[in-house]
Amino acid sequence: MANEHRVTLIPGDGTGPELVETVKAVLAGIGATIHWDEVVAGESAMATFGTPLPENVLESVRKNKVALKGPITTPIGTGFRSVNVALRKELSLFACLRPCKSFRGVKSRYSGIDLVFVRENTEDLYAGVEFPNSSKEAQQIIAWGKGKIFPDAGISIKPISKTGTERVARYAFEYAVKNKRKKVTASTKANIMKVTDGLFYEVCREVSKEYPTIQYEERLVDNLCMQLVVKPELYDVLLFPNLYGDILSDLGAGLIGGLGIAPGANMGNGIALFEAVHGSAPKYKGLNKVNPTALLLSAKLMLDYLGESSIASKLEQAIEAVIAEGTHTTYDLGGKAGTKEMGQAIVARFKKLA
Ligand code: NAD
């Protein structure tokens, strides 16, 4: 019998609310007793509260210490900054965990993929220190650059600190030990960005010495892109600064057959927010069409985190079985089922498991 838990629920934008409804129904159907504190962030909050990230959202996550979130739309170029990035920063969710595991029945160029992407979540070019071209600050930096920067450049600052790197590196090694993984590969462009990416490597190397049972190596990120496509079996846990981790984890989703099945978690000290890798897929909003698996697998990571590992592993088995059977899957997996119907099939399969 499962324990009761209180969790903040952020439905998000686009297809987020329908995905979240399905996940709620599945968790209720499989006997996970979760009391949801539902709060609104993103475009929908903008309309009601005049801000995409109302204070009550942060308060709720800080109080419950665990949250499940649907994807949130970020306008490109204009409008508000990313709520996803702001949440990670405000709540010090410094490590982003994205496991990428092949499922039987998913059409993909690859099989047997079992990689874990760990991404630093709060600094790097995502720190939000940016100056538009022709601003006073951009002009000052351009002057410091002594001819290295065109005078009409916009500037984004890339901070990478010992503090930020040390905590995410420790998270990656701890994860490797707990989950019986063999190797951590750190990846950056340290040959070019010596003072930031170079520091990232330096700190990872230091932290690695505390974990003698885990092999540690470094790969330049351009080379790693090629190698992940050609020889993914060479890798195990991958550790990145923010920007490379964001891009490479989508590559990971591609290796296992798409964003519809790629889950994620944002981890801090004693606080965690679970969400799929994919975005709000706004063109499918309200169509009951997109795949709930990525958010369900994120919920599976959440159940593990809450200490409900028995329900969590049965949920994964049920998802795996429904995908392998292929009769109740969504369009991206070649099926004709809607979001809701795939969720219902997963609950039915769960109930058949011993
Ligand atoms: P997206 O992930 O929303 O969609 C890209 C494509 O992937 C979709 O058109 C669809 O074909 C496919 N896809 C995505 N999720 C799927 C699912 N569950 N099932 C089946 N197919 C799926 O990426 P995008 O179009 O670049 O971004 C849309 C919005 O989402 C943007 O505003 C972006 O900023 C935001 N976004 C949010 C998050 C987040 O909330 N963490 C993450 C990424 C993007």
Quote the ligand 1 centre to 258 CA distance (angstroms): 11
Rounded average pLDDT over 51-67:
96
Tell me which DSSP letter residue 234 carries. Answer: G
pLDDT band of residue 290 (cuts 50, 70, 90) is very high
Please report which residue ranges of 195-308 form alpha helices under DSSP H: 197-208, 221-230, 242-255, 293-305
Q: Within a domain: residue 101?
A: no
Neighbour-count burial of 195, counting CB atoms closer than 10 A to its CB (0-12 exposed, 13-18 middle, 19+ buried): exposed
Q: Within a domain: residue 10?
A: yes
Residue 260: CB within 6 Å of ligand 1?
yes
* Amino acid identity, position 155: I
**Whole-number percent of the chain with pLDDT over 70:** 98
Kindly state whether residues 43 and 130 are assigned to the same domain. Answer: no
What CATH number does residue 19 fall under?
3.40.718.10
1 pLDDT more than 80:
no
* Residue ID of nearest Cα to ligand 1 atom 44: 279
Rounded average pLDDT over 227-231:
97
Rounded average pLDDT over 239-260:
94
Quote the ligand 1 centre to 204 CA distance (angstroms): 31
CA distance 213 to 223: 26
CA distance 57 to 63: 10
pLDDT score for 271: 98
Kindly state whether residues 140 and 68 are assigned to the same domain. Answer: no
Quote the ligand 1 centre to 134 CA distance (angstroms): 33
Domains identified in the chain, total number: 3
Kindly state whether residues 51 and 61 are assigned to the same domain. Answer: yes
CA distance 124 to 212: 28
pLDDT score for 102: 94
CA distance 231 to 229: 6
Kindly state whether residues 114 and 209 are assigned to the same domain. Answer: yes
Kindly state whether residues 49 and 73 are assigned to the same domain. Answer: yes
Residue 72: CB within 6 Å of ligand 1?
yes
318 pLDDT more than 90:
yes
Residue 254: CB within 6 Å of ligand 1?
no
Q: Within a domain: residue 30?
A: yes
pLDDT score for 44: 84
Read off the pLDDT of residues 122-156 as tens digits, 9 standing for 90 and up: 999 998 899 999 899 999 999 999 899 999 999 99
DSSP string, 291-320: --HHHHHHHHHHHHHTT-HHHHHHHHHHHH
Q: Which residue in the block uniquely carries the two structure tokens 């990689």?
A: 115
C-alpha distance across the termini of the chain, in Å: 14
**Residue 16 alpha carbon, nearest atom of ligand 1:** 40
Average pLDDT over the chain reads: 95
**Residue 290 alpha carbon, nearest atom of ligand 1:** 19
Residue 242: CB within 6 Å of ligand 1?
no
Cα Rg of the chain (Å, integer)? 21
Kindly state whether residues 278 and 309 are assigned to the same domain. Answer: yes
Listed residues 211, 232, 256: the one ending a domain: 256
Read off the pLDDT of residues 105-119 as tens digits, 9 standing for 90 and up: 898 899 999 999 999
pLDDT band of residue 234 (cuts 50, 70, 90) is very high
Read off the pLDDT of residues 23-34 as tens digits, 9 standing for 90 and up: 999 999 999 999
Q: Within a domain: residue 103?
A: no
Quote the ligand 1 centre to 220 CA distance (angstroms): 27
User: Is the pLDDT higher at 107 or at 299?
Assistant: 299
Kindly state whether residues 208 and 246 are assigned to the same domain. Answer: yes
Q: What is the SS3 assignment for 118?
A: strand
Listed residues 231, 256, 281: the one ending a domain: 256
Read off the pLDDT of residues 172-224 as tens digits, 9 standing for 90 and up: 999 999 999 999 999 999 999 999 999 999 999 999 999 999 999 999 999 99
Closest alpha carbon to 260 in 32, 95, 10, 19:
19
pLDDT band of residue 77 (cuts 50, 70, 90) is low
Listed residues 256, 285, 300: the one ending a domain: 256
Q: Which residues are catalytic?
A: 126, 189, 222, 246
* Residue ID of nearest Cα to ligand 1 atom 32: 73
pLDDT score for 78: 58
**Residue 331 alpha carbon, nearest atom of ligand 1:** 20
* Residue ID of nearest Cα to ligand 1 atom 38: 279
- Whole-structure pTM over 0.85, yes or no? yes
Q: Within a domain: residue 65?
A: yes
CA distance 71 to 101: 21
Q: Within a domain: residue 242?
A: yes
Kindly state whether residues 274 and 350 are assigned to the same domain. Answer: yes
Kindly state whether residues 13 and 135 are assigned to the same domain. Answer: no
pLDDT band of residue 81 (cuts 50, 70, 90) is confident
Sign of the Cα torsion 295, 92, 8, 177 reads positive
Cα→Cα distances 313→34, 178, 253, 297, 318, Å: 17, 16, 21, 10, 9
Kindly state whether residues 28 and 139 are assigned to the same domain. Answer: no
Q: Within a domain: residue 102?
A: no
Rounded average pLDDT over 41-69:
94
Residue 86: CB within 6 Å of ligand 1?
no
Domain of 197 in residue numbering reads as 108-118+160-256
80 pLDDT more than 80:
no
Quote the ligand 1 centre to 236 CA distance (angstroms): 26
Kindly state whether residues 252 and 189 are assigned to the same domain. Answer: yes
CA distance 102 to 98: 13
CA distance 94 to 315: 27
Kindly state whether residues 269 and 252 are assigned to the same domain. Answer: no
285 pLDDT more than 70:
yes
Residue 291: CB within 6 Å of ligand 1?
yes
- 116 forms bridges with which residues in the sheet? 99, 237
Neighbour-count burial of 128, counting CB atoms closer than 10 A to its CB (0-12 exposed, 13-18 middle, 19+ buried): middle
Q: Within a domain: residue 176?
A: yes
* Residue ID of nearest Cα to ligand 1 atom 23: 279
Residue 251 token pair: 């590559």
Under 8 Å between Cβ of 262 and 276: yes
76 pLDDT more than 80:
no
Read off the pLDDT of residues 2-12 as tens digits, 9 standing for 90 and up: 689 999 999 99
**Residue 291 alpha carbon, nearest atom of ligand 1:** 19
pLDDT score for 186: 98
